[in-house]
Each structure stands twice: as C-alpha cells, then as structure tokens.
Amino acid sequence: MRKNLNVIAAYSIMMALIILVGIFQSWNIALSIFNLCLISAVMTMGANIQWGYAGLINFGIMGYTALGGLAAVLISVDPVQEAWSAGGFDILMSLWLIIAMVLIIRFILKRFNKSKIRTYSIAVIIISGILLIRFSAEPGIEAIEAVNPAKTGFLGGFGLPIIFSWIVGAFFAGGLAFIVGKVALGLRADYLAIATLLISEIVIAIIKHEDWLTRGVKNVIGLKRPAPYEVDLQTTDWFINLVEKFNSGKLELISNLSDRQATLNQLVIEGSSVFVKLCYSGLFLIVVIILLILTQKALYSPWGRMMRAIRDNEEAANAMGKNVVKQHLLIFILGSAIVGIAGAMLVTQDGLFTPGSYRPMRYTFLIWVMVIVGGSGNNFGAILGGFAVWFLWIESAPIALFLINFFTVGIPATNSLKVHLIESVPYFRFLMMGLGLLLIMRYRPKGILPEKIDIK
Amino acid sequence: MDFLNALILLLNYIFIPALTYGSQLALGAIFVTLIYGILRFANFATGDMMSFGTMVTILFTWYFQSLGISLGVLPTALLAIPFGIFFMILYMLSIDKFVFKYYRTNKSPPVQLAMVSIGVMFVTQAVVRIIIGPSDQRFFDGEKFIIKAREFKEITGFNEGLALKSTQVITVLVTIILVSLLFWFLNKTKTGKSMKAYSDNEDLALLSGIDPQKIVMITWIIAGILATIGGALYGLDKSFKPFTYFNNMLPIFAAAIVGGIGNPFGAFLGGYVIAFSEIFLTYAYKKFFMYILPESMEPESLVQLLSTDYKFAVSFSILVIVLLYRPSGIFKGKVL
C-alpha cells in the first residue's frame, strides 16, 4: 500500500480537479473532459507500450487514430445499395488487382535472389499495377461519387452496431502497423520517428481524398450510437421519474405547479445529456480497465521482461537468442492496435467522422506529451499523463484568462495589449504544453509516475 | 510552334514553380541538416522556428510601411529580413542556452533531444500565435510580376503565356547567393572547416583544440539566417500562416533525408528533388499532349498521374523509398 501511495495521491488529485470543474463550471463539461481523458488514456497506453516497453518511437499515432475512426464509419453506416450497384464491381475488381499484385511481388521476392533485375522488375510491376488500378477503378469511383453526393456519395459500411468497430479499428490499425513495421522498423530511432510521421500524413491524405470510401472532407455525420439519444430520454417516463427523484428536494421548494413543471423540464434536458455522457464514460471505463489489466499482466510477465531487456540492450538480448526484429514488430502492432481502438472510440463518442480534423499537433505530439509527462514505461503513469495533459489542454484557456486578468488588473480593459492578449487566450495551451514538457524533461525525466520494476 | 508552346507550358506550370518551391525547401533542408550534423538531433521545431523568423520580418515590414519606407519595385520585406534574422538568432541562442545546452553537456541520446525539440516546437508555436495570430498574413508589396502572361503572349505571339513573378526571381537569386556563400564558408574558412571536423568526429575535433561553444553558436547563427530567409521567401511567394509553416516541416525533413542527412549539398539538391517530383507527378498533362500529339491521338482524360491532393504524399513516398533502399540518402558518405 505504501509504495502505491503516490499513485493513489496523483489519481485522487486528478479526480478532485474534474469534480471541481463539475461543481464550478458544469457537470456536462466535467463529463466530456472525463470521457476524452479516458480516450486519451487508451491512446497513451498504446504509445506507452511502444515507447515505454520497447523504446520504439512512433510518431504516426494520428494515422492509427484516423484508421480507427474509419473503422467506426465502415462498420456502423448502412450500405448504400445504389452506390454498390453503380460502382461496386469496379472497386472489387481493383481490390482483386491489388491482391494479385501483392501476391506476384511476394512470389518474385521468394523465388529470385536479390539482384538489380529483381528490384527493377518489382518497380515496373508496382507502377504498371498502379496505373492499371487507376484506369479500372476510375469509372467506378466516379459513378459512386455521383450517387446522391450531398448525402452519400460513398459505398457506406456494413450497418452493424458501432461497438464492433472498436475491435475492427484495432485490426485496421494493427494491419497498417504491420506494413509500416515491416518497412520502417529497421531504421534508427530518429529516422523511424520521421518516417512514421510522414506515413501517418499519407494515411490522412488518402482518407481525406478517397471520397468513395470515406466521403473525405464532406465528413460522415450522424453515426449510430451505443448510448440512448437525448431526445428519446426526455420523453421516457422512467428517466423523468429518475430526475424527479434526484432533485426532489429542489423541486419541493417550488410551490407553483407550472413553475415546478418548467424547472423539471429544464432539469430533464440537462440530465439527459449528462446521462448519455455517463453511458459513454461507463463503456470507456470498461475498455480502459480491461486494457490496464492486460498491459499490467504483460509488463510483469516473462514477455514483458524480455521486452525491457531488448529495450535496454538490444545486442545482449539478441545474443541471448531473442528475436529482436520479430518482437519489435509485434509490439509495434500491439501498440498501434490499441491506438486504433481509441480512434474508433473517439468517433463513436463524437458521432461524426471529420478527416480534416486529424492534425499531427493534436493526435501525435499531444499524445507524446502525455506519455512523457505521465511516465513512460509505467501504465498508471501513462494513463495519468493522458488525464492531466488533456485536462490542462481544455482548461488552459480559462486558466490563462484568469492569469492575464490577475496580472493586468491595474490596466484598463480597453488597453490594446490587454485586448490582444485576451483574444489570443486559446493559444496559451500550446505554451503550457511546451513548458510542461520542457520542465518535466529537465527536472523529472522519467515522468510524474516513473517506471518501477520490482522483481517478484 | 506547337512544340515551343508545349515547352513554354511546362516552363510556366512546372519548371518555374518547382524551382521556387525547391529553393524554399532547400534552405529549410540545409537548416535541418546543419542542426542534425553538428548538434546531432532531428529538430522538430524547424517549421515553427522558420515561422518565428518570418513573423519578426513581417512585423518590421509593417513598421517600415507605416513609416513610409519602401524599396520601390522590390518588396519592403527585403529590408526587414536582417532584423528578422537578428531576432531569430537571439531566440535560437537563448533557447539553446536554456534548453538544449543541458542535454548536450549531459550527452543525452539524440531521441531525448528530439523530444525536447517537440517542447520547443509547442512553445514557439504558442509565441507566434500569441503575437501575430493564426490567420493568413500577406506582406508582399512592390511590383508583383516581371513578365505577365498576357504581355508575353502579345510580345512573342505564342498561344501559351509565361508569367514570371518577382518573388520567384528573388527567391531563386537569394537562394543561389546564400547557398554559395554558405558552401564557401564551410569549405574555405577555418571556422567552416572546424565545423566539418566537429561534425565528423567530435572527440577528435575537441582534442585538436576546437572550441565546441563557438561551433554550436555559429551553427545556430547560420541556422537562424537560413530559417529566416527561407521562411520569409516562402511567405513572400505564397502567404504566411503558422500552421502551413508547421506542415512545411514535413517536406523539409523529406528533402534533408533524401539528400543524405548531415550533408548540406545533399539537402540543397534534396529540396529540388522533392519539389520537382511533387509537381511533376501531380501536374495534368492534357494540354501538353494536345500540343505534342497529332489531333487524332489527343487524350480525353486529364493525364494526371496523381491528383494534386496527394502532393505531400508524393514527397513522403519518395522519402520512404529512399529510406528503404539507401538509408543514408542519395548523396551518402561524409558528413557535413
């Protein structure tokens, strides 16, 4: 118990902060912060597996998040029959062409020894394959995008409950990680960072511009929800009764019957959105707890010890007969798959998929700040980092506003400098993130909750 | 005639824009490569440092404009660039003193320095956005075109126009002057040679009495000059927006690595490789073939290899291919 004291203290402070937001701002804001904290925590767990356990740098988190989001769209949206009949055949043909191309390349790679001719022939196959696919898919793509472009204009998905997409998102992200890992894992640390960053940009470019698959920048809105809708809740009896019971003390003070009804209606509307958010919190909490148990088990298993050995001394681990390349690939896939889950969760919560909103600042570098600040190699630390950094990210604007007003209290409100500062309050979050990261890296390089390994 | 028209078409839409864009990338790529070669880390704050220098330049441009100072046909920003460079160097040196120096003296691994540079990136981004705001700023003044497309058509009688913007000429000229000065400095002067030695083998260089403090300081000074001029030229040619500058970091990195990171000449050429391939692969060649081919063979589609949306993807794909087949870059071999 004693040795976990700092963990408990850190988490209590975090929860207290969120509760304070609930009391002083509103429970709605507090819960939306809490939900996004949970999603961030899942992302940081993924990044922490790669960086903390194995020392692999992955700056492509944005790409895996977006793929998870794509999974949510492809799973939950109903299929667009017209689009399938218009261009489905061409798309399927192209898919077969891609598979055939990959198989041919594999065959060549296996069958022939490394030589210049082999390299060139593979290049020729890839280029001609891309051209062939373009020509065969183009009419199909045009036909699909022409089907009711204002509402659909894409193939749609499978029409399954969106919860499934959390698993599918993990597979999507893991699949991409497999390809990226095969290609890039041999690189040195900083090259790997740059390569993964650029690959994630390519993924985003594809998602943004392949309208037949994702609707691109036209966004997909109104995704199905695993939680009830606010509007439905507001008309259900049991929910109204529940709200009435919760607020009975407050309601009894109002004697006028119509006033009382109006207050109740107001409370029901507020309560419904809080209730929906609570549903999400429950779902997300389950995911976080399952992942936490699994990652903790993995960390203290022989496999976890092997990963740390590889991280701390690759050559020695290699000499002991551990397959470093294979383990690196495995952990790269696992971590990315977890990020994919988070991506699907994020889109599930928002109910919309906006490819234009995936930016490296928010989805890659911020997650890294969370991992470093929280404590790499320590799952509790990573989750705490997700909570603390996201909390600061959201609440930095009010904090900055308070500080500006505090320090410029003597200056009149019309002073141009003060006006300018108050207008640029939203950008202070970057400043706080940057300073936080720099300070932590300088004075507590292992994070708030450092990695602690005790051999049992 | 048709052949000449086709040639002018390519010149107007591919060659000149790519040369300009390539020059802007090249300056940034040399900046990245210098930091990587001498301070030994991948500087993720590259794009934002460039936006800082450009911001100061813009502020001074506005100040000069308000005073009524101008260079006539040339943009006033040229006058403001030295001030931008001065503040950029000041900013870089203070960041080095308060942030990077600690890790350098502790001999931290390059990955840690890269992480620290992410912190610097956040801070710089905040500073720029707080001072000048996140929106688009245009600060170009003076004569916009040297040759206008319509005038060119009238003078020469060709079907195709050739437009030459003054910013394009300024960019290319300034880049040529700056880069030749830089290579002269690196190859001929004693300080330049000691920088090369330091980048080649730090311990050996220290043993032969090279002062590391001085090397680091000069590196930041050169980096400041490159970052400000590169950023200001990009801003003059297109426009200044902090987010675009952050994004430009990616093709700049691609250029530096394609050319062989740590090798300034490679970075210089890498900028052009990236720019030309981006524009070559995403240009629609329909009109070009209409001039070249006989009428019966004219293409119906746009004859575009990739849609312009994939402009960034092209450079990154090149980078990935280079990393796979030649991890040390096209011009591998010696450092700096």
**A383-406 residue pLDDT tens:** 999 999 999 999 888 889 898 888
**Contact A341/A42 with Cβ under 8 angstroms?**
yes
Predicted pLDDT of residue B51: 95
Give pLDDT tens digits for B310-322: 887 888 888 878 8
pLDDT of residue A144: 85
Cβ distance A437 to B133 less than 8 Å, yes or no, reads no
- Domain range summary for chain B, segments of one domain joined by +: 2-325
Could you give the ipTM of this predicted complex? 0.89
Report CB contact under 8 Å: B115, A368: yes
pLDDT in tens, B55-92: 999 999 999 999 988 888 888 899 999 999 999 999 99
Tokens for A169, please give them. Answer: 């998102």
A262 touches chain B (CB under 8 A): no
Picking from A387, A393, A390, A388, the residue whose alpha carbon sits closest to that of residue A427 is A393
Q: In chain B, what residues touch A430 (CB-CB under 8 Å)?
A: 122-123, 125-126, 129
Contact A431 B112 (CB under 8 A): no
The average pLDDT across A358-368 equals: 92
B147–A contact, CB cutoff 8 A: no
pLDDT digits (tens, 9 = 90+) for B105-114: 998 888 889 9
Beta bridge partners of A353: A220
Chain-chain contact of A430 with B125 (C-beta, under 8 angstroms)? yes
Q: Is the distance from CB of A382 to CB of A52 less than 8 angstroms?
A: yes
* Residue A134 or A198, more confident: A198
pLDDT classification of A1: cutoffs 50, 70, 90: low
Q: Check CB contact under 8 Å for A191 and B121.
A: no
Is the CB of residue A154 less than 8 Å from the CB of residue A83? yes
Average per-residue pLDDT for chain A: 88
* Nearest chain A Cα distance for residue B306, angstroms: 9
In which band, very low, low, confident or very high, does the pLDDT at B336 lie, cut at 50, 70 and 90?
very low
Structure confidence at residue B275 (pLDDT): 93
| pTM for the model | 0.91
Q: Is A191 on the interface with B (CB under 8 A)?
A: yes
Q: In terms of pLDDT, which residue wins out, A410 or A387?
A: A387
Question: What number does CATH give the domain B2-325?
Answer: 1.10.3470
Q: Closest Cα of chain A to B297: distance in Å?
A: 18
Q: What is the pLDDT of residues A304-316, one digit of tens each?
A: 989 989 988 889 9
Q: How is chain A split into domains, by residue range?
A: 2-79+156-443, 80-155
Alpha carbon of A124 to those of A105, A133, A343, B284, B314: distances in Å? 11, 14, 36, 22, 17
Place of tokens 């992302």: A43
Flag whether residue B327 sits within 8 Å of chain A, measured between CB atoms: yes
Cα distance between residue A182 and residue B163, in whole Å: 46
Bridge partners (DSSP) listed for residue B165:
B145
For the ranges A46-50, A287-291, B247-251, B327-331, which has the lowest average pLDDT?
A: B327-331
